[in-house]
Structure 1
Amino acid sequence: MKADTVGQEAADGLLPVLRELCRGAGADGSLPLTPRALHAAREAWGAAALLRLSGIARVLGEVRLSRRAVFHYSNPDCPCCRHKLTPNERAFLSLVRAGIAGQKTAATGAALILTEGGPVEPARNAALALRGVWSAGPV
């Protein structure tokens, strides 16, 4: 898989949080809110961290339930990898941002890519629910 450079993708805090959630994900499908994920969320979003982190984890959990393949992400501790954005990360960020913006069509398209043709509605609906979580301010 070709990876793009991170650049502005990390500016809103979503990418570091996503990577920490992926790092903590269990093979059994569990998605614990690890201390590192919580720290990344607090750094990005302050007082809204736990609510937003929970919402992002829900979206990621729905994506994981609908896919067959492994979700590829760049290790945030790798000096080389952390500067690259994987196609899965890019699609996830698109899904979340579309959800926050209330863009149902864009969220559906991103969810379709991430779920590999599996059920789209759970991931899309979880992303669209983020709009209320982010309503207090822009991402």
Structure 2
Amino acid sequence: MHAHLSILPALSFFLFFLIPQILSSPLSPLLTLQERQTGSCALAPCAKGLCCSVFKYCGTGPDYCQAGSCVGGVGGTCAAGQCCSSWGYCGTGVDFCGTPTPTPTPKPTLTPTPSPTGVVVQQWGQCGGSGYTGSTICAQPYKCVVESVWWASCQ
């Protein structure tokens, strides 16, 4: 008789503490999606539209959603400039809004230097290079070939 009583504390711990924790886990395959969504929110946020109560369970209404909630039919939407966190409350910063996406830096547009009208550069003549301000138009059939940062010629 005494041998049976020694397993009672372990059995009660298993039945009353571990099983409810396992069943309320979002990873529990034993529960339907709806049952998991209204389970514990101690380790992960509730499903979209549900609030996490002070007792760490998901649901809707005043028992689950406290003042400042932005889901679950209590608080409505957040004020301008605030975001609704995955836990269901309004605020600002990374905890509520997530990591901001950086704005891409615009690339500068290069404006081509207009060449003087009517001036044509002959073979081997300069047609470009850093600081060059003359014509960039080569006589036919030649093309302006860049030879260095400082020099380009019609070839």
Category of TM-score, reference length = shorter chain:
under 0.3
Q: If each structure's helix is expressed as a fraction of its own residues, which one has the higher value? A: 1
Question: Which has the larger Rg?
Answer: 2
Q: TM-score, normalised by structure 2?
A: 0.21
Higher relative contact order (CA 8 A, sep 6+): 1
Higher strand share: 2
TM-score by length of 1: 0.22
